[in-house]
Amino acid sequence: MASPVAFRRLKIRRDRVGVHAFDRATGLNLLVDEVAVPEREWAAAPRHLAVALTNACDLHCPFCYANKHRAALDPARVLGWLREADAAGCLGVGFGGGEPTTVRGFAELCRAVANETALAVSFTTHGHRLSEDLLSQLAGSVHMVRVSIDGVGKTYERLRGRPFDALVDRLNMLRHVAPFGVNVVVNDHTIGELDAVAELGARVGAAELLLLPELRFGAGTGATARTLAALRAWVDAYNGEVRLAISQEGADGLPVAEPFRSQPLIERYAHIDADGVLRRSSFAAGGVAIGERTFLATYQLLAGEEAE
Ligand code: SF4
């Protein structure tokens, strides 16, 4: 029988889908959807919140989705918003950008969120700034790191403009600090690299391989029909060691796991951009600037817009 101590770590979220128990330490998710939760008890925050801490990045990838104007969020304001979201039933935050590790005070922010809230902390990075020093500061404060890798060897170096061997060195340090996954933007240039990236992931101990078909957004021109057909065939044939996941956006008929499908998107996910505007996703137009409002008041406005 499991120790009661194990259950003390679970965070419980109650909403229109049912009762969701989540353990940020192990990634365990347990959804009891037979329970009808009264509407007055539904969580008042999205299940997951993404925060673009900055638009800045020290790389220049050709397909980058990030906004190019200068903007960055104050970590102290972000911590305040996350405290609110945590208390209102949010389960996790994912920091991104731009490149979040370029933000001064990034490690301190992760530590404060991990210590002062029950949110799972994750971030997406190109990985090249994960020095021994930064990793030692992040140890124990991050539950998942997502490293963007779109190919190996010369392909990687052509797309990212950084030495591939240096990346592998970073991954071999990261594996001792936090679980990590590999994110691959799939397009004409990277589709032929999937086997090699999956093998790399297995070699360096990645927990997940997340496939992100390129979208027509920012500098991205979108995955072609030929690439998507090749991706479908690759997924069908995949029998690698690393767990496979596929982003819903751009999946185009590929199998995705979405147990919360019946729930409006705004209850599942929201995004704060580096200008402090709350949006339905990083790709969504519009949104509501948080400004002097609380996070929850802003979220209610955005959710109200969606319901109209
Ligand atoms: S590492 Fe990410 S944020 Fe930076 S330029 Fe490349 S795609 Fe854009």
Determine the atom of ligand 1 nearest the C-alpha atom of 60.
Answer: 5
Write a three-state SS string for 263-280: CCHHHHEEEECCCCEEEC
Determine the atom of ligand 1 nearest the C-alpha atom of 126.
Answer: 1
**Is residue 33 within 8 Å of residue 18, measured between CB atoms?**
yes
Rounded CA-CA distance 71/116 in Å is: 26
Three-state secondary structure call for residue 230: helix
Gap from CA of 55 to ligand 1 centroid (Å) = 9
Write the single-letter amino acid at 2. A
Closest residue to atom 1 of ligand 1, CA basis:
126
Determine the atom of ligand 1 nearest the C-alpha atom of 160.
Answer: 6
Gap from CA of 167 to ligand 1 centroid (Å) = 14
Note the pLDDT of residue 260: 74
Residue range 44-307 forms a domain whose CATH class is alpha beta
198-215 pLDDT tens trace:
999 999 999 999 999 887
- Label residue 5 by pLDDT band (50, 70, 90): very low
Does position 252 have pLDDT exceeding 90, yes or no? no
Gap from CA of 62 to ligand 1 centroid (Å) = 9
Domain limits, the chain = 1-42, 44-307
The rounded Cα 7 to chain-centroid distance in angstroms is: 25
Note the pLDDT of residue 189: 86
Note the pLDDT of residue 308: 63
Note the pLDDT of residue 64: 83
52: Cβ–Cβ under 8 A, 6 or more apart, which residues? 66, 67, 73, 96, 97, 98, 271, 272, 273, 274, 282
Note the pLDDT of residue 6: 45
Does position 218 have pLDDT exceeding 70, yes or no? no
114-145 pLDDT tens trace:
999 999 999 999 999 999 999 999 999 999 99
**Is residue 51 within 8 Å of residue 96, measured between CB atoms?**
yes
Gap from CA of 60 to ligand 1 centroid (Å) = 6
Lining residues, ligand 1, CB within 6 Å: 57, 59-61, 64, 66, 97-99, 126, 148
Determine the atom of ligand 1 nearest the C-alpha atom of 63.
Answer: 7
Note the pLDDT of residue 1: 41
